[in-house]
Amino acid sequence: MPTYQEGIFIEDANNFNVSEYKLVENDIAKIKKSISSILNEKSDNVYVVISFGKELWSMLSDLELDNFKDFATLQGKNGHQMPSTQNDLYFRVLGKDQSLVLDQTIRIEEALKGTFEVVLSENGFVYKDYRDLTGFVDGSANPKEEKKYPAALIPENENGGNGSFVFHQKWVHDLEKFNQLPVSVQEKIIGRTKQESIELEGDDMPENSHVSRTDAKHDGVAMKIWRRSFPYGSAVERGLFFIAYTCDPFRVDIQLDRMLGNTEDGVSDRIMEFSTAVSGGYSFAPSVEELNKALKV
């Protein structure tokens, strides 16, 4: 049975880094050597999830994956946009010790230097009791316990079994604008109460709330994904780095279309009045066995 990458489901980490790389050297042997060296030097108590853009994965593996694609820029009907910054290689590093997470992040960059160029790297953390910087609990709708595995992983009997499609998207918040609103209005935008994180019901739940737009179904099936987002922030910029693991990219696509108003109802997510997507890319996190096979020289 193929083994999923362990870091996908680690839930007690509180320090994170996501780094995205562009390929600058097409020598397959060098590519495999540089990535393999990272896998051989992982630190204790630090987890690394590695995923590949479609083009790089096709260079390394003959495994064909249904529905695997690059992310394309999305234009919303109501003036919003989600840009594509599709990259080739993605690393998510997580752990409980900020020093160890940083050390591993640096080791990765040094091992890839000359073969890949880092184009985005963001550090994050757990904010208070797992809240976004808006003050609302993040990830409340995540599937619980055993339900997270079928949401995140390709079925074992399919190509790429126990691998996962990954979506990365960086959001920049306008917290000053958001925080000027009364809490009652903020709750209508999110779709949950701020303090207790209780989902609004009935007429209290606006159709343009974030919960309403991302709680998607298709042919009666809930489009659940496994969210592993984290907040980031400094005096310069604050926001959320959205990460989704899914058995099928369509589950992410339908949520993004609903946020943008690109569905029949034409309703867009009000959260985009206060937060702007500045990156976006799909990748594939293969099982441990497929990863080792792809990197074999």
Tokens of 208: 């343009």
As a whole number, mean pLDDT of residues 180-194 equals 98
Average pLDDT score over the chain: 96
Q: Which residues in 177-287 belong to E strands, given as ranges?
A: 217-218, 221-222, 226-227, 230-233, 238-246, 275-277, 281-285
Task: Tell me phi and psi for residue 215, to 5 degrees.
Answer: -90, 80
Residue 40 has pLDDT above 80, yes or no: no
- 169 compared with 1, residue with greater pLDDT: 169
- 297 compared with 136, residue with greater pLDDT: 136
Distance between CA atoms of 31 and 177, rounded to whole angstroms? 45
| pLDDT bucket at 39, cuts 50 / 70 / 90 | confident
Q: Tell me the per-residue pLDDT of 99-128, one tens digit each, with 9 for 90 and over.
A: 999 999 999 999 999 999 999 999 999 999
Distance between CA atoms of 29 and 199, rounded to whole angstroms? 51
Q: Tell me the per-residue pLDDT of 221-235, one tens digit each, with 9 for 90 and over.
A: 999 999 999 999 999
Decide the pairing of beta strands 74-75 and 281-285. unpaired
- 143 compared with 139, residue with greater pLDDT: 143
Residue 169 has pLDDT above 80, yes or no: yes
Nearest in space to 88 (alpha carbons), one of 23, 24, 29: 23
| pLDDT bucket at 141, cuts 50 / 70 / 90 | confident
Residue 184 has pLDDT above 90, yes or no: yes
Tokens of 33: 């050597």
Distance between CA atoms of 166 and 151, rounded to whole angstroms? 12
Q: Which residues in 96-185 belong to E strands, given as ranges?
A: 116-125, 164-173
Tokens of 115: 């073969």
| pLDDT bucket at 209, cuts 50 / 70 / 90 | very high
Residue-range domain boundaries for the chain: 6-295
Residue 197 has pLDDT above 80, yes or no: yes
CB atoms under 10 Å from CB of 229, counted, come to 18
Residue 41 has pLDDT above 80, yes or no: no
Active site residues: 138
| pLDDT bucket at 18, cuts 50 / 70 / 90 | very high
Q: First vs last Cα of the chain: how many Å apart?
A: 23
Distance between CA atoms of 224 and 148, rounded to whole angstroms? 8
Distance between CA atoms of 188 and 203, rounded to whole angstroms? 11
Tokens of 270: 């009000």
Residue 118: the pLDDT is: 98
Q: Tell me the per-residue pLDDT of 42-85, one tens digit each, with 9 for 90 and over.
A: 777 899 999 999 999 999 999 999 899 999 999 998 899 999 99
Residue 30: the pLDDT is: 96
> Which residues, at least 6 apart from 11, have a Cβ–Cβ distance to it below 8 Å?
none
Longest dimension (CA), the chain: 60
Residue 245: the pLDDT is: 98
> Which residues, at least 6 apart from 206, have a Cβ–Cβ distance to it below 8 Å?
188, 189, 191, 212, 270
Distance between CA atoms of 193 and 37, rounded to whole angstroms? 46
CB atoms under 10 Å from CB of 203, counted, come to 6
